[in-house]
A and B are shown apart, each in its own frame.
Chain A
Amino acid sequence: MRALSIAASGMQAQQLNVDVISHNIANMNTTSYKRQRAEFQDMLYQNMERPGSTSSASGSILPLGIQIGVGVRADAVGRNTEQGGIAATGNPYDIAINGRGFFQITLPSGQTGYTRAGNLAVNADGQIVTADGYAVEPAITVPQEATAVQITRDGLVEVTTASSPDPQQIGQLEIASFINPAGLEAIGDNMYLETPASGSPNTATPGSPGLGTLMQGYLELSNVNAVEEISALIVAQRAYEMNARVITAADEMMQSTTNLR
């Protein structure tokens, strides 16, 4: 009986669905986290009677045919790159990107990582780094004597010192955008890598057409909506239970056959 394996595929699909939803909920408070969603497809269909074949008894042509599907499979876990909410933190090194774009980060491996988590900091050498200590590209070093740092919407970094109260420009932040940001590979730590699916980065100063602007003193929140996730969780759980119910019913049917003798 196919029903057993069909229902098993349904349970597996819903298990993956619950995994994705729970990952979203776990990252509800992760800076700039982008929620994910499992996509499903029906599996192939078996032709029991081809449409257009002749039915034996009356010689009439079957208009429909019998094709029985063999279940469901997950075909993709898509990422929703919608802008997350933006919250004020008051920290001068917290920078939110309002719009498309990613900060470029030099990873310890030498690769360039991309992140929207703008909870930056200054290390002992005065260099602007991520919360994990990785340098932001292009490298910007804040002088020791700086009393205030200002980052404009266009990514200009300016400092004032006790000796010179006029802001002095010390660097220019750049952000990168991708045609398909959902195709980036997530490697954890709020970090993404370029892939053939994402396309190559288009690097420019913030505020260029199609790119976002920077907001100093703000952080981008995750775009997870708790109400949506919880209702999706309930739907997934019910779907799982229904598939389990199919297994019970199919088992009862098989049992009644086995009990014939």
Chain B
Amino acid sequence: MDNALMLGLQTQRVLQRRMDVAANNLANVATSGFKADALVLEEAEETQAHAEEDPRQIRFVRDIGIVHQMEQGPVAMTGNPLDVALEGDGFIMVQGPNGPQFTRDGAFTLTGEGRLVTSDGRAVLSSGGAPIVLDPQGDTPSIGRDGAIRVAGVEAGRIGVVSFAAPGALSKVGDNLWDAQGQAPGEFEGVVVQGALEGSNVRPVVELTRLIEISRAYQNAAKIVSGADDLRQRAIERLGR
């Protein structure tokens, strides 16, 4: 296949992935604690297809990774006493299938037995790594800026909030959860806010602009592919005459 075709196809492949990432960001514009993703691209040198001596290098675009944009999302009051938002770099520890997983979605509820859980029923862990259980007959709990839960003035547990040296290297596992990828958690230096939730940090204007950009670039790449194909077809017709 000739160079223009290869270049065009590779560009289209990368643009499709960029489109998938932008679509996922926009789909999660209302997801609590969601962090936007961006595809990292690099130039890759390849030797061009050649039929003569002395081939030159051509440059492809290649996607090498995803970065998570870890900026703080907007914190909005919800009035629900069990909603928790984090201000600052940190994650709340949640019981995962194999050890703790981490989340910034603090939409918590209690089970009938008084266990503090996420909105899909996973146990929220204390700073010691144990599930948090509150007195079923107790009053509405108050949650301090340090994550300590008090029921009628008595401390009933402390929400485990940790931070990571490289939060961008955590990986998403879905359900608003993150996997530490072996990174050791450190001390959280931010603030826990009761009665509020952190919104998604997706910036719709940026994503929509990107969407337009991607779709135009894709059309251009398609034009390159069809141009290269036309050229070859005409060459064959003319030479075959």
Q: Which of A's residues lie within 8 Å of B, judged by CB?
A: 1-3, 6-7, 9-10, 13-14, 17, 37, 39-45, 48-49, 51, 55, 57, 62-72, 75-76, 78, 80-82, 100, 177-180, 182-183, 195-200, 202, 209-210, 223, 235-236, 238-239, 242-243, 245-246, 249-250, 252-253, 256-257, 259-261
Q: Is the CB of A78 within 8 A of B111?
A: no
Q: Would you call A44 and B173 a contact (CB within 8 A)?
A: yes
Which residues of A are found within 8 Å of B48, using beta-carbon distances? none
* In the complex, B69 has a CB within 8 A of chain A: no
B30 at interface by CB-CB < 8 Å: yes
Selected contact of B222 from candidates A182, A250, A260, CB within 8 Å? A260
Chain B contacts for A196, CB-based, 8 A: 111-112
- Cβ–Cβ < 8 Å partners of B114 in chain A: 179-180, 199
B110 touches A180 (CB 8 A): yes
> Which residues, 162 to 179 on B, are CB-close (under 8 Å) to A?
169, 171-176
Given contacts A43-B174, A82-B79, contact A68 B17 (CB under 8 A): yes
Give the interface SS of chain A, mostly helix, strand, loop or mixed. mixed
12 extra A-B contacts, CB within 8 A, seeds A45-B174, A100-B140, A242-B26: A9-B27, A10-B29, A44-B174, A64-B65, A66-B64, A68-B21, A69-B172, A82-B79, A100-B139, A179-B134, A197-B111, A199-B110
Chain B: number of interface residues, binned into ranges: 35 or more
CB < 8 Å: which of B44, B45, B119, B169 contacts A75?
A: B119
Beta-carbon contacts of B7-49 to A below 8 Å, as 1s and 0s?
0000010011101111110111111101001011000110000
- Contacts A41-B174, A183-B112, A236-B30 given; does A48 touch B17 at CB 8 Å: yes
The distance in angstroms between the C-alpha atoms of A238 and B208, with both chains bound, is 12
A17–B222 CB distance below 8 A: no
CB distance from A8 to the nearest CB of B (A): 9
CA distance A37 to B226 in the complex (A): 49
